[in-house]
């Protein structure tokens, strides 16, 4: 199984009216490193698919985004022995959107190609309606976490077009659900 993750609001604190502009502003949510380590232990590839309009808007450059992502990787490796297999990002600003920027499915499809996974073998975990729309367009299973924008997204009601969506409290809860399914001997 391929696990695709949104970044802001899923792995780290989301800044609703701002961006993570440096490694110092990247505040990991509780248990995310351990959750990723559990996926790694199962042998499932883990990749980020994240919109980063701050690059397209000129707020930070790609070199700073790379530093932020390297810090993320270093911290989860040090704290939990976890690793992220690939990072895909869409730098598109809102006025120059491509298919890679969620709700477009471009990044998700690119990840599936890289890891030779079908949509049926892929789960996308995010906190926003655009995450669920991108996963729907790519044909992936969808899990909405209630961290980040997730509570507001759920409260606003998910469009019928993205259903079904599994709701989880956090990334660790989503991972626990996925791992339980794999050990559940129920015939489906």
Q: Is 131 assigned a catalytic role?
A: no
Using CA atoms, how far residue 156 sits from 15, 55, 150, 183, in Å, is 19, 29, 10, 33
Token pair listed for 97: 């959107």
The separation between CA 188 and the C-alpha centre of its own chain, rounded to angstroms, equals 27
CA distance 98 to 92: 7
Reported residue count of the chain is 188
Separation in Å, CA 187 to CA 39, 40, 44, 50, 183: 23, 25, 22, 35, 11
Beta-bridge mates of residue 46: 3
Q: Is 8 a catalytic residue?
A: yes
Supply the residues annotated as catalytic. Answer: 6, 8
């Amino acid at each position: 199984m391929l696990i695709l993750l949104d970044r802001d609001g899923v792995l780290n604190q989301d800044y609703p009216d701002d961006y993570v502009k440096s490694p110092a502003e990247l505040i990991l949510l509780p248990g995310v490193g351990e959750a990723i380590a559990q996926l790694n232990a199962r042998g499932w590839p883990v990749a980020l698919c994240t919109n980063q309009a701050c690059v397209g808007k000129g707020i930070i450059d790609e070199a700073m985004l790379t530093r932020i992502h390297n810090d993320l990787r270093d911290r989860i490796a040090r704290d939990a022995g976890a690793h992220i297999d690939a990072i895909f990002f869409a730098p598109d600003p809102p006025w120059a959107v491509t298919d890679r920027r969620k709700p477009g499915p471009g990044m998700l499809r690119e990840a599936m190609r890289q890891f030779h996974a079908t949509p049926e073998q892929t789960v996308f975990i995010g906190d926003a309606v655009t995450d669920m729309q991108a996963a729907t367009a790519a044909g992936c299973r969808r899990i909405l976490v209630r961290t980040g924008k997730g509570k507001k997204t759920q409260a606003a009601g998910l469009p019928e077009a993205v259903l079904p969506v599994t709701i989880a409290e956090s990334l660790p809860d989503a991972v626990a659900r996925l791992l339980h399914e794999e050990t559940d001997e129920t015939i489906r």
